[in-house]
Amino acid sequence: MPEHPGFDLRQIDDRSIVRLRVRPRVVDAACKALRLPADALQWSGEDPRACWLGPEQWLLSSDAQSAQEIIGRIDAALAGQLYAATDMSSQNACFSLSGPAARMLLAMGCGIDMHRSALEPGQCVRTNFANVPLFIVVVEGSNFDLYVDRSYARYLRAWFLRSGEDPVTRDSKHCKQP
């Protein structure tokens, strides 16, 4: 993506992504065994990172482990339980978005309150962004991981490029938040 003074968007190509779904009665055991976040809109861990997708559902992602290794770990931790662990690495594209204009760009594309006080590091949310489903993970203050169906990756990249031309996103005084 061309240089922009307010944000940097780069695609992360080799990230392993696994979607885990468990039965309601297994949620507590799964959270304990796999260190999954039990609270809504939260993520935990480093590698793999576990993001809450919904009741009984998580997205696990890793830059160091393969999807099969993550699924193997799930198999060992949840032996004897009924669950579904699916490799989503080929289906989803992941982007890293960072910079002072990142929150403003995300706010321009969705109805989520992107202010730092409303969406903090350690949180994640699913939303309809620029007319496509997007999963946003707040990694740090102005660093985000974005997960989108791979078929929308090109559209999403083009959307950010066009939106980055907006004078507001180029003026850093508009992009700074307390």
Residue 168 pLDDT: 62
Residue 163's domain comprises 8-12+92-168
Confidence of residue 174 (pLDDT cuts 50, 70, 90): very low
Share of the chain above pLDDT 90, in %: 84
Total number of domains in the chain: 2
Asked if residue 109 and residue 47 are part of one domain, the reply reads: no
pLDDT in tens, 22-38: 999 999 999 999 999 99
Q: What is the pLDDT of residue 164?
A: 80
pLDDT tens-digit series, residues 86-138:
999 999 999 999 999 999 999 999 999 999 999 999 999 999 999 999 999 99
User: Read out DSSP for the chain?
Assistant: ----SS-EEEEE-S-EEEEEEE-GGGHHHHHHHHT---STTBEE-SSSEEEEEETTEEEEEESSS-HHHHHHHHHHHTTTS-EEEEE-TTTEEEEEEESTTHHHHHHHHSSS--STTTS-TTBEEEEEETTEEEEEEEEETTEEEEEEEGGGHHHHHHHHHHHTTSHHHH-HHHH---
In a domain, 173, yes or no: no
Average pLDDT over residues 79-92: 96
Among 70, 87, 104, which residue terminates a domain?
87
**Does 25 map to a domain?**
yes
1 found inside a domain: no
Q: Last residue of some domain: 71, 87, 103?
A: 87
In a domain, 20, yes or no: yes
Q: How many CB atoms lie within 10 A of CB 114?
A: 22
Looking at the fold, whether 56 and 97 belong to one and the same domain comes out as: no
pLDDT exceeds 90 at position 59: yes
CATH number at residue 98: 3.30.1360.120
Whether the pLDDT of residue 171 is over 50: the answer is yes
